[in-house]
Amino acid sequence: MTPRARLAVLLSGRGSNLLALQAAIERGELSAEIVLVVSNEPEAPGLARARELGLPAVAIPHQGAGGRAAHEAQVLAALEEARTEWVCLAGYMRLLSAEFVGRYPQRILNIHPSLLPAFPGLEPQRQALEHGVRLSGCTVHLVDAGLDSGPIVDQRSVPVLAGDQPSDLARRILEQEHQLYAAALRRLLAEEWKVEGRRLVFGPDVEGQSPAARGPRRNSTEGG
């Protein structure tokens, strides 16, 4: 049996995506276990919710940590201690450095409440409404050192309705986020895939061979 993927979830706030991931695991939809929840905000409701679920959860405050590199070193030490394989950002309000990302190449995911590359950064629902788009949605993507900029794993669209306030659109998008995050991760864990430039491509990398002829599943990564 394939061992369950060891996930760490990094958050700064409410934690509803953490709960959705854990619920998907408990329903048997995701062959994974959450081995650590980290928040840079000690008072984040998501941290309390993680503890209520019995998940290992730690606050690693960025304030007073002695700068970004020192804070990231603390977070990385905690991730390594927990033998983390995948890092899921779920409302984590810190940009990760290239050094941090390089420690988990193509194994850090983020969920963002817009159809990227439209409306990266803060308040994407407000940005979408102000721009006048008719559709928005959510995106799960691999994380690089840019802002909401890594290769896209999957997206769901959500209509913008007349009279929507940012909170209305956010609520409608969040319902989709809760399904999309687990579904995207499930696919990454179950299927072969590789990154070609900006594109994440699912499917075998050896054309014309049956799955049996290709041997066991492996995820290819650029350069290794």
d(CA 87, CA 142): 10
* Site track 117-146 with ligand GRF (rule: CB under 6 A), x = hit: ------------------------------
With a CB cutoff of 8 Å and minimum separation 6, the contacts of 129 are: 160, 164, 165, 166, 169
- Looking at the Cβ atoms of 10 and 82, the one nearer to ligand GRF is 10
Task: Please state, in angstroms and as integers, the Cα–Cα distance from residue 133 to each residue in 102, 125, 154, following that order.
Answer: 35, 10, 20
CA angle 98, 139, 79 (to 5 degrees): 40
Residue 188: strand, helix, or coil: helix
Point out which span in 11-19, 69-77, 79-87, 210-218 binds ligand GRF (CB under 6 A): 11-19
Q: Torsion angle, CA of 39/32/2/86, rounded to 10 degrees?
A: -30
Within 178-197, the residues that bind ligand GRF by CB under 6 A are none
Smallest distance, ligand GRF to C-beta of residue 218, A: 30
Q: Shortest gap between Cβ of 39 and ligand GRF (angstroms)?
A: 10
13 binds ligand GRF (CB under 6 A): yes
Rounded distance between C-alpha atoms, residue 173 and residue 171, angstroms: 5
User: How many CB atoms lie under 10 A from the CB of residue 179?
Assistant: 14
Q: Does 16 bind ligand GRF (CB under 6 A)?
A: yes
Q: In angstroms, what is the minimal distance from the CB of 20 to ligand GRF?
A: 8
Strand ranges in 90-202 using DSSP code E only, listed in sequence order: 108-112, 135-142, 152-159, 193-196, 199-202
Give catalytic status of residue 112 as yes or no.
yes
Annotated catalytic residue: which of 71, 112, 141, 178? 112
Q: Which stretch binds ligand GRF (CB under 6 A): 8-16, 24-32, 55-63, 71-79?
A: 8-16
Q: In the window 90-119, what residues touch ligand GRF (CB under 6 A)? A: 90-91, 111-113
Active site residues: 112
Contacts with ligand GRF, residue ranges (CB under 6 A): 11, 13-17, 46, 90-91, 111-113, 174, 177
